[in-house]
Structure 1
Amino acid sequence: MDERVRGRWWLTAATGAGVIALCYGFARYAYGLFVPRFSETFGLTTVAVGVLGGLSTAGYGIGLLVSARTAMRAARGTVLGSAALAALGLGLMALPAGVAVFGAGLVLAGAGAGLVSPGVAQLIGETTGSRVRTRAQTWANTGTGLGLAASAFTPLLAFGWPAIWSVFAALGVAMTAIAWWTLPRPGAGSLPAPEALHGLAPLLVNSVLIGITSAPYWTFSSSRLTEAGLGPVATTWCWFTIGAAGLLGGLAGRAAERFGLRAANLGAWTLAAGGTALLGLPDPGVAGALVSSALFGATYMALTGLCIVWAARLFPARPARGVVWSFAGLGAGQTVASPLAGAAATGIGLAAVFGLTGLAALLAWSQLRPRLAPPPPADAGRGGSPDQTGSSRCPAGSAG
């Protein structure tokens, strides 16, 4: 790989963040913001709304599974394909062609979101230098926050949702073109030999815990804020704050380089616990709600970004493989936790659910045990790496 290409890591990370913003902020998460308008247009029942949301999740799962193979064979093509699928899905959703076409668009848009993170992680792994790779991965991952912030106020616009979705689709086409021109082309080479799954279990546990503790926030934070007396505008500002503060999650890469991956991860987990527990207060108020939103957004992006770094240490030649496992665990945790949180809320109330979720996040401190901690960097035995744990575990990648 040309050293000039490796030196332009910031451009690869920024473009990757833009594609992630498209695929997650617009193609995946914006659906929830417009559910009342969709229900009015199509005459949807609550069950139908859930079915459509399930189609998006199904598309995401399909994309994630497909990316496990495509990202390692053609990382750049996978990223471009994710952007194109997101744009196509958004375009289909904007058409006045009925709920069936709308649902097909949701599947395609969800598939784009499933493809994008493994593709971006693999491309960064192949085209950036080792000294900046951690920062590049975590900054690219903050694209989700950028997309959330950009879409937060769109439900308040006077335009009809088809017009807004048409703009989303146009932005998708533009982002696909930008990615085509700016993303680097990895050098040709043979597909690396498969790596062992040694050390994967702690990453999966960490990812599932992220899913379990984030699901109540994604699903019920707006309801909790309304219950606490906040109006629609204040709730929208909180959603925007989640996205805007999410951009700070990119700093997790620098923290991991300076203090070690385990210390950075545990620091993010502690702040996440505090941010979630704030919504467990009887009356958080506007200030408490905004602080909670900022902490949740920043730590969610930090924790998912650090999962990508963790995955890349386990599978240095195939970071996409580790990302697929990690994000599948995260999705599984969210899938299980959302209905459980809803059921618990009927018995003990949403405030108690958020308080207990904050306590559950502190289970991450079990990573003080070396067997549950992230692996040290590959050069931990040769320098004074802050990731050294004093254990006899092998450096990442040596178990294969």
Structure 2
Amino acid sequence: MKPLANRTEHLAQSNIRAITLLLNEYGGINLGQGICDMPTPDAIKKGAHKAIDDDKSIYSYYGGIDRLRSALLKKCQEYNQIPIRSEDEIMVTVGSTGAFVATMFTLLNPGDEVIVFEPYYGYHCNLLTVMGAKLRFIQTTGPDWKIDFEAVEALITDKTKAIVVTTPGNPNGKVWTRSELEKIAALLEKHDIYAITDEIYEYMLYDGREHISLASLPGAFERTITLSGFSKTYNMTGWRLGYAVGPEAIIEKMGLLSDLIYICAPTPLQHGVAEAFEMDDGYFDEMASSYARKRQLMCSTLEEIGFLVPWPEGSYYVLADFSQLRNRFSGFEDDEQASLTLVKEAGIGTVMGRSFYDDDADGANCLRFCFAKEYDVLEEACRKLKEAFPPA
């Protein structure tokens, strides 16, 4: 048979999915994949149910239903402070991943260079590679994950097309400061390049930190595609609903490309998620308080066991260093062995550190833990960890 397309040559199941399958074999608690297995708000479920009962089952406009885009316009203006002018600068997508794919198809040609910060979200890099982009990496190191902006600018060439910024970060929970984003905005203008910002964890912030959208800064909106979604905020990862915000000319092209790929996001589910914007703001306060409590439990447990823990500033992940455990326990030679050890000895699934770096060796001492669980489930996971690996 003739070979498959070259773009599929290096595709493989992600480490995240692989450890999930192994955990299913051994049984236990998955603190690896960010699946948010908590209840979706009733208002959203009832809204989708009603839309189905009302036969709102035909294609929507490829950019999304009017009610949802109207709600997003207000949200982006008020919460994100993005200088967006109309619904024509918003597109509803099949998950924020769908928004990322549409952005790539619209902005990039094969051979274009894209700057990515390590540790990164692996799906971004895999998709960029499939697109034929050349990745240029800037490594950051915990606990503060500071950016070397001189190194960033040194990577920019006449082939550089975009910079990817994820805030709050996955896997490290870094929340970009206004000063850092202002430096990115200056680079965009100076070198005539785009930014792609993934802001899916924008409501998950700790210790009084503020979420700032790059597109809200002077001069940045015209060069920035802002991506977000509903999966993480409302515990509905399987609904696959996200959105993109940017200049109308870019959003229009993204919409046309999305129309070719999947026509539209599921119409009845769009009606359901539109109900989220009628919910009381108390939902966000309760969510923030709940995640802060879970972060405290997860991070303090890992520190008791002996992990070095850069406490996340946002999101619901922690990238913890296990190197000090080698003196007390076997099975911690590298991240692959450590991940297997946690599954076999404690029944806990995690993600290998190598999943977030271009060079596997850079992630060899760390594992990512996800604390997007019901509190009692997270308590049980922490109990199992301390039982298998008693604190010194």
TM-score range, shorter chain: under 0.3
Structure ranking higher in strand proportion: 2
Relative to the length of structure 2, the TM-score reads 0.27
Task: For CA contacts below 8 A with separation 6 or more, give which structure has more relative contact order.
Answer: 2
TM normalised by structure 1 equals 0.27
Higher share of residues assigned helix: 1
